[in-house]
Amino acid sequence: MQRNKSVLLGTATLLSLALLLVLQTPSVEADRLQPKGYRETVEKLQKYYVKFEDKVSREFRRWKEEGTMSQHFRQLIQASAIGKSERAQEIRELPTTREGPLCAICRGFGGSVLEFRREGASREEVYNTTVELCTMLNLQEESICRGLIELNIDTILYIVDNRPDLTSASLCAVVFQSGACVLDDSTFTDWQVDVDSNGTPVTASKAGTAQRGPNDLKIVQITDLHFDPNYRTGYNAECGAPACCRESQGIPEDTSAAAGHWGDYRNCDTPWNAIEDLIDRVAEEHSDADFVYHTGDIIDHGIWETSIGYNVRSINRVISKLRDTFPETPVYNILGNHEAHPTNVYELGEVTRPDFSTNWLYHLSADLWSHWLPRAAQQTIRLGGYYTALVRPGFRIIALNNNDCYTFNWWILFQPDALKGQLQWLHDVLLQAEQAGEKVHILAHLPISSDCFSVWQREYRRILERFRDTISAQFHGHTHKDEFNVFYASENPEFAVGVAWNGGSGTAHTNVNPNYVVYYVNPETYEVTDFESYAYNLTSANLTPDERPDWFRMYSFQEEYGLSDLSPAGVDELIQRLGTPAGRDELRRYWEYKVKLADASLVSDCTEDCLLNHLCEIVTNQADDLRKCQELSDTFFD
């Protein structure tokens, strides 16, 4: 990832200049790797945050008292504005050098709005103020700011009004979850799952079964379809919004900016013809599949203009297509963060406002998924969008709704220990499975390493370690990348205890080819013995809009890397190889497959620092635990 220029330019005050200097720590592009002197710099940052907050607060108050912004305040905002290229990036994708500036912006301007509300500002006053700041800070275009704030403001105000002890420091630390934004609030950290004490210590990496065999089960994973009913071929793919190629955005004068028939590499989601083609291809080419795992994110990225009705229509259409295509093949569905309205917002805790409830989505899901599930699964789906099902004697699926742990789920700020509920349920189901001699696959939309609240990550890892012999595999989505994660023991990080596989995405948003994955699973241990990823080249497909895309087998994991097996121990051997100069060509190939050989990504290449970052992403599963990343970096350039 290329470094971004600092947002705090020399037009601001001496204070902001001082802040800028301390934020500019030396860094490499490997975002997961903290540079030398990072901890000392973070300690300095905490003092500057307070000064910056105070400066912004004084200027903010003056604005509200006098009715106009001072030139000084305008300069401060202009100096803090982010670049347009950063809008489309996930926070986890931003370079380490951006952690401090973004935390400062959040605490400074967010803290002022927090004070404004607590001093009696009305909903309208808060709305107008945040829209203006959102636009001036260049977080989005004004129309997007208005839509996003209108959808989220009532939830946020409810939380602020009912959590008088919530500070901007805690709020920003949860949302940004970076080392530079320190969370020092026991309300968020002092809770844990009650873990059964009968487990055995981790003394070795978990070994696995033999390679792929003729009797293996065949499981297809489809994920992140992101169906956009507003997608129109030929419309503007370079609109600057989170979702482009839409009817309301018009036809561009420059034909190179026009949306393709089968999708587009830019910030565009998936037209219905591409959704149908992917699902039909799975049915045609893999009619012998035993199961389908559909791991969430049906809804598009039009996050500023969703509604319950809009989401219901898209969810209904996609699930109906799956039901019609796979009437006899079990399809195990889970929810993505985009299914909720507002996007990402899943109710947690004891909330007294029924209009904030996510029950509409849970009841809809229970009804639509019932075609493939036992009646007993209904109860927990209607309670929280998660369930378990015994697929066959000795084999169980646990389908989580871990979108509640997403750091952009505002309800974490309201009652963070409410996250314990589903995790405790997960633990208890695994304990019962262990006692029954069952093996388990866990489905979760969010990878544990990706944007989940760090305390949730910590507790999930405790559960995984305790039941590592019961959990045979984990399957994720969300990132749109063809990737995997290896989990290591918390106390003995030299030992690998689990592997999670990511199915990529049906959407090309952003700079990836559409894909799906076929897993081969041992029928006794239920461990993955191999997987094949299938994709099509979007550039080529759009050249022949009247023909179906040319799907091809991108690679077999076993064939590509020549592993003894795909157990945690086997995959850890690969990680150690990729972490040396001798493994550089293999690591580059891993990155190429991760972006699914997409022309738009391959043209930009991936430097050695970039490759190290991707390697670190494989082994980092808790935001504040970078030990494996550091270990690999020590051998990477030998």
- Output the known binding site for Zn(2+): 224, 226, 297, 337, 445, 478, 480
> Residue 270 pairs with which residues in a beta bridge?
227
- From the CB of residue 546, how many other CB atoms can be counted at a distance below 10 Å? 5
**What angle, 0 to 180 degrees and rounded to 10, lies between the N-to-C axes of helices 111-118 and 142-162?**
60
Rounded-to-integer distance, Cα 607 and Cα 404, Å: 35
Secondary structure element (H or E) that encloses residue 202, with its range: none
Residue 80 exposure: Cα atoms within 13 Å on the Cβ side:
31
Torsion of CA 536, 539, 540, 545, to 10 degrees: 100
H-state helical runs in 13-68: 14-23, 38-66
User: What letter would DSSP give residue 109?
Assistant: I
Give CA separation, 258 vs 158, 232, 486, 599, in Å.
42, 9, 40, 17
Pairing, β 331-333 against β 291-294: parallel
- From the CB of residue 232, how many other CB atoms can be counted at a distance below 10 Å? 17
- Binding residues, as ranges, are 224, 226, 297, 337, 445, 478, 480
- Residue 587 CB contacts under 8 Å (≥ 6 apart), including other chains: 578, 611, 614, 615
Rounded-to-integer distance, Cα 143 and Cα 557, Å: 44
Q: Which of 293, 295, 232 is nearest to 268 (CA)?
A: 232
User: What letter would DSSP give residue 421?
Assistant: H
Secondary structure element (H or E) that encloses residue 558, with its range: helix 557-561
Helix (H, G, I), strand (E, B) or coil at 490: coil
Number of continuous H segments (helices) and E segments (strands) in the chain: 23, 12
Rounded-to-integer distance, Cα 182 and Cα 45, Å: 10
Tracing tokens 């409830």 back to the chain, one arrives at: 357
Give CA separation, 138 vs 8, 68, 80, 145, 492, in Å.
13, 19, 9, 9, 44
Tracing tokens 């802040």 back to the chain, one arrives at: 19
CB 620 within 8 A of CB 612: no
Secondary structure element (H or E) that encloses residue 552, with its range: strand 552-556
Q: Which of 189, 171, 191 is nearest to 181 (CA)?
A: 171
Q: Which of 554, 561, 636, 634 is nearest to 594 (CA)?
A: 554
Residue type at position 268: C
Rounded-to-integer distance, Cα 270 and Cα 244, Å: 11
Q: Which of 332, 333, 224, 325 is nearest to 284 (CA)?
A: 325
CB 397 within 8 A of CB 389: yes
